[in-house]
Structure 1
């Protein structure tokens, strides 16, 4: 049995030595959580999305099953940040789940292959998993086709522009003198529920989006360490928003990205940068700029070799050293387990080798999370923490100014 992939699966098959394509989700559930019920739920999800228990075959962009049980999928009593280093998406399942029991709770970490799905698809997987746990059996079809996207590209013709994806003044973090003590690390800093509420209100009053605020805050926080007067960032966007029937289950890669580069003087008020980011993003959305990054890949997919397609990705969707992603709101009503309290939720991108760095923003249960996953030493972790704390300071400054 072989399950064919779609063109956008190839997006995350480049730069594998620098960046292994993973999505990491962690949370804690209380002692009322039923492990056997959870195991059955994982099995139910595989019936809907058989690629989960499959290896990825790069040569023909397909998925081939490697197991029909939880062997190689569920791991109990292991440190996920250590054990997941041996995960091979080209030989192992595209899903990996770690479960660790404490006296009164279970700590769960879920890894999903970014080759198989994007952040929005990962959220849909979480909802599917919770539904399977809560009702026992799920009867739904997963859709991965991109016919709708091919039609959109015809309706909104854009010209690919590699310069947009390769900024002349990229953001950077400073290199460190020593790599000693380097290991996988994750960190999440949460805005309080009150801060989250107030930030929503301030954004609404100023007619900007929360995403504008996060990008501006991240850009300025990193700019403090960069020799640049510009904030150049790529902002992933979920193209499912353009599908007429958005209710379909789509655990797949349907992401493209907007690219912005705005002038930023660290002496100017933060709200000036927010306004510039908002203006750039509004223009990009109006012009469907996000289609630039995937147009050539989709147009040439049926006629070009894998190596040529990967080069097209490098030209239009390359891996940036400094990266931003916003997973948006994870619905706490849909991602919940019957009879259990769920806390400490965090959703991250892959582990980036410092000085590469990514901030991942997510919102769960009324709180904004600012997170990162990195490979680095204690000093690198402090640098990452400093960026996130600076973001928090800038956002709180915005709240105070526009209460």
Structure 2
């Protein structure tokens, strides 16, 4: 079986010069999982999404089916002690493009409780698509009748088909409002190691909700508050006065029928803050909230993806790879909010989920990305990085300062 690749698959591959394109999730349970139920769920999942049985062929931009059994997607690890070490090692394990299938599931078995550490190639899907895989795995494990509509369509056309030709032309001709950030501006990271490391910090969601309910004159969402804390921390620590942060946006919002698609459908909003001596947290947050509101009411975030897909259709694959490799740039300092994991949908029958979070790609030095995911009452801030030594310590300091800033709101 052969599946044609999509433009976003190629884009994620090209991003490889700045990161290892892998998205990761950790699901912790209060009890034990059943072997038969989990193996059955993995088997059915791989049959619903044939791409999980494929490898990406870089030279041709296609997915070719591999003859290895679905059982190879699942690895069982016995962890009588040092449970957190096994979790960390599993989350940070590698997926090699063209060699491995795009999904690996690690079942970490403790004496009284288990964890699932799931990693997926970013060529397969974005954060929202990854969530859909997790929800479906939970439904299949529980033996429930699948309530959500299965969507195996990976094409960007499911988004653009909602627009007329004139609307697409208008989007392409629109002027980008984003103020570019100095390309040389990045965290002073210069020490890198061979293996990635994961840093996580947790914030109680009630603290963010408390600030949200107290401000007057505007209504920021949780993402606005977190982004304000991030940008203000960068300003305070490194004296950056002009900061532009790209913020990934789920393009499925333009077509509700694409909600369950397991693929990459991501564009960008751009948030710019010019700091001054009287910049307060409230002023920064208000500015971010206003910018986000304008962009949410616009379709400008479709401009770059539409242009990418036009080039993908027009140019031979070999030429396209060369063109995009020279044109695509990854921001040195970035941010992504993977949203709130749906507690009701992440249900594994008798095994209660105690915690869950999602982590994004491991960034090479000097690139840095702050990732956020929320489950129940906890908001997990994470960074996956190849930084080591003092550079690693600096990233820890950045994340601690973000948390401290939020605590004193």
Match of 1:47 in 2: 47
User: Do structure 1's residue 106 and structure 2's residue 119 form an aligned pair?
Assistant: no
User: Do structure 1's residue 210 and structure 2's residue 215 form an aligned pair?
Assistant: no
User: Do structure 1's residue 158 and structure 2's residue 168 form an aligned pair?
Assistant: no
Candidates 193, 196, 202, aligned match of 1:184: 196
Candidates 111, 118, 127, aligned match of 1:119: 127
TM-score, length-scaled by structure 2 = 0.86
Candidates 376, 392, 395, aligned match of 2:403: 392
Match of 2:26 in 1: 26
Aligned ranges for residues 267-346 of structure 1 at < 5 Å?
A: 268-310=279-321, 313=324, 318-346=329-357
Candidates 367, 382, 402, aligned match of 1:371: 382
Q: Distance in 2 between matches of 1:310 and 1:202?
A: 50
Match of 2:156 in 1: 146
User: Do structure 1's residue 195 and structure 2's residue 207 form an aligned pair?
Assistant: yes
Q: 125-134 or 59-68: which moved more? A: 59-68
Q: 222-231 or 13-22: which moved more? A: 222-231
Alpha carbons 1:323, 1:359 under 8 Å: kept: yes
Match of 2:189 in 1: 175
Evaluate the alpha carbon distance shift between residue 98 and residue 379 of structure 1 in structure 2; reply closer, same or farther with a 3 A threshold.
farther
SS at match of 1:15: helix
TM-score, length-scaled by structure 1 = 0.88
Superposition deviation, residue 88 in structure 1: 1.1
Structure 1 outlier segments of 4+, above 6 Å: 160-163
Evaluate the alpha carbon distance shift between residue 76 and residue 165 of structure 1 in structure 2; reply closer, same or farther with a 3 A threshold.
farther
Give unpaired runs (5+ residues) of structure 1: 399-403
Evaluate the alpha carbon distance shift between residue 143 and residue 378 of structure 1 in structure 2; reply closer, same or farther with a 3 A threshold.
same
Superposition deviation, residue 65 in structure 1: 1.6
Q: Distance in 2 between matches of 1:110 and 1:17?
A: 23
Q: Distance in 2 between matches of 1:279 and 1:308?
A: 41
Q: Distance in 2 between matches of 1:313 and 1:219?
A: 29
SS at match of 1:245: helix
Q: Distance in 1 between matches of 2:144 and 2:99?
A: 30
Aligned ranges for residues 31-110 of structure 1 at < 5 Å?
A: 31-77=31-77, 79=86, 82=89, 85-110=93-118
